[in-house]
Chains A and B, each alone.
Chain A
């Protein structure tokens, strides 16, 4: 995994030292009654960069389950991606001693035009499994995700529940020493969620480390040993789960930052001969 460098002799699983990352964001400014026609057409879009994580310093020790407590859009998911290495810090450093499997929007990597089996191979490879490992663990994944009947059918427009189950089962099959989980446990029926939690707890007991983002306080309280409180990209506290959740109540949720997204289904990359 060349793009996720490891520091094997680091004591912690992952260590953030003043890490920060800024992401580009298009903001649609108020157009008003500008006399400038061109501006009215463009809608005066500003290309800004916003710091999603700033000056984060903390570490995750082996065998620990650390909750990232914060509101939506507070930079929680970016923190997880930084930890896993699928995002590279613009300032400071993030070092990790073992590969961390990110479960952040896992369903997005599943392709509807592939069969379920193909998706398992694809996502499994993306998460760092070798072909041989996938072959070996395929029965387990199929059983856990309960997709035996549709294994060779196209995933197509199957429900989010099925996608969630598949993604989750694959992620667990990686048997990684650390996971970064974001809301992954909110998909599926209660019985499946229950099952997931049991697996997570089992792994945790066996010494696997976790970074967890969840909007359900009960899950965090039940499962995590420690918490990081984060707001607007800044780490406010490194404390107990209860304390972090209490303090979160005093922080106003961010105003609805409706930012401007350009949908691009454009055909810019259609090749023409001449």
Chain B
């Protein structure tokens, strides 16, 4: 976290440049940041709400419910997927860089986070479409971002470090992400899970950030603040493990270059 502050200028530059590069690469540029998650939300909304009929999946209005979680999930999956190749891709820089090695992990994290923030107008569109204005608990939204950031930083360091030793990890992560999508309350609400297995579901560290994003609209989705507690502790533990793994493998990482 200290790195983040101390090297904020370099990071800002790298992140701005990466975004710029992405937005100049495609004709529609920034619009893709909106179209991609919006399109996905509409497809899923159509399937689960229209085709399958009004079942007890998620909370209403479903389009809004979906897009509020799809956007952060998109951030999560995009960021984590890039982590396994981060040191391999930055060989040239690693060889000469006198800056801390975790900078490259932070860069991906921040670029994908900026994309997430830039895609927030999707939620505004959904709010307008569904005419469902959030309550005062929407102030917890930034807290969700912070929590997800810590979680992704830890997980990113962990994956990035071990991917150097085990190249196969990239594939494993891909499968794990798919499984995680269905195991995480994105399409559905945590209250859809039968009561007797719900405690296990809250062991998923993504539950808390997603809950914090949604709490402005659906304040009673979570009955207990214990969920947040468990999830917060988990995020911190993952961060600790990630940092430890990264420090342990740093000599090996530098050999990649």
Give A residues with C-beta under 8 Å from B.
1-4, 21, 23-24, 81, 84-90, 99, 101-106, 108-110, 113-114, 118, 121-123, 125-128, 130-131, 264, 268-274
Contacts and interface: CB of A to CB of B under 8 A. Distances in A.
B74 interface: yes
B96 A114 contact: no
B122 interface: no
Nearest to B165: A24
Nearest to B164: A24
B128 interface: no
A220 to B, nearest CB: 22
Given A3-B250, A269-B82, A272-B178, 4 more contacts: A109-B95, A126-B96, A264-B85, A273-B73
A155 to B, nearest CB: 12
Contacts of A102: 95-96, 98
Interface string B80-108: 01111100100111111111110000000
6 contacts: A1-B100, A24-B255, A118-B17, A269-B81, A273-B74, A274-B178
Given A114-B17, A130-B9, A270 B96 contact: no
B95 A104 contact: yes
Interface of B: 3, 7, 9-10, 13-14, 17, 21, 40, 70, 73-74, 77-78, 81-85, 88, 91-101, 170-171, 174, 178, 181, 250-251, 254-255, 257
A2 B6 CA distance: 10
A53 to B, nearest CB: 12
A1 B98 contact: yes
B92 A108 contact: yes
Contacts of B78: 271
A86 B181 contact: no
Given A101-B98, A114-B17, A264 B88 contact: yes
Contacts of B83: 269
For chain A, what secondary structure do more than half of its interface residues adopt (helix, strand, loop), or is it mixed? loop
Contacts, number: 118
Q: Which of B13, B83, B101 has the most CB of A within 10 A?
A: B13
A24 B257 CA distance: 11
Given A109-B93, A269-B170, A271-B81, A126 B98 contact: yes
A272 B80 CA distance: 11
Contacts of B93: 108-109, 126
A273 B17 contact: no
Given A3-B250, A88-B254, A272 B77 contact: yes
B116 to A, nearest CB: 12
Nearest to B253: A88
A56 to B, nearest CB: 16
A269 B10 contact: no
Contacts of A4: 98
B98 A127 contact: yes
A272 B13 CA distance: 27
Contact of A106 (B94, B96, B100, B181): B96
Contact of A269 (B84, B92, B100, B251): B84
Contact of B98 (A88, A121, A128, A274): A128
A90 B251 contact: yes
Nearest to A128: B98
B163 to A, nearest CB: 9
